[in-house]
Amino acid sequence: MNLWFRLLCMLLRRPWRHLVEGTAVTSLHLRVWPLDLDLNRHVTNGRYFTLADVGRMDFVLRTGAYKVALRHKAVPIVGDAWGKFRRELKLFEAFELQTRLLGWDEKWVFLEHRFVSRGRVVGVVIIRGLFRSARGLVAPAELVSALGLAEQSAAIPQWLAAWSSSCDQMSQDLRDEAL
């Protein structure tokens, strides 16, 4: 329930939040609520991924990426996600959720969500996603072009390329297993 509340709060604040360039870092200021906690009384690992959804929605709205989705009648899809947890977030602790575009390839767009508290990164969620319509995938080149970015992505870090490659391999293994 509190995630719907956070999403609604983000949407209600939208008229006062300015649009940003596609390379900008968007941020949301949030607080840990009781429903975010696990039995250890800190934010449950899975909640980071769900909170990243709210940050991603803010990023899509503020950069104008939603216009491309509307034009194609497409919806955003997360294909894969990865998380790194460095320190816990405790009840009522304030934190900032920073979202930024890391790069893209011929199929995927890569986003980073940083959870920052007291000036320290306490967790990171990385996703690779795309927009899908009834006609198929919306090419990342079209999306980034609409955001005013170069069609070719800057070089993505080696660790990100390796992670994406391992996700592709896992997808292939699952397809092979299903046969």
Mean pLDDT check: name the lowest of 45-49, 62-66, 79-83, 115-119.
62-66
Torsion of CA 104, 106, 107, 113, to 10 degrees: 0
Single pTM value for the model = 0.90
CB atoms within 10 A of CB 106: 9
Tens digits of residue pLDDT in 35-50? 889 899 999 999 999 9
- Domains, the chain, ordered by start: 2-178 (3.10.129.10)
Res 167 pLDDT > 70: yes
34 contacts 112 by C-beta, under 8 angstroms: no
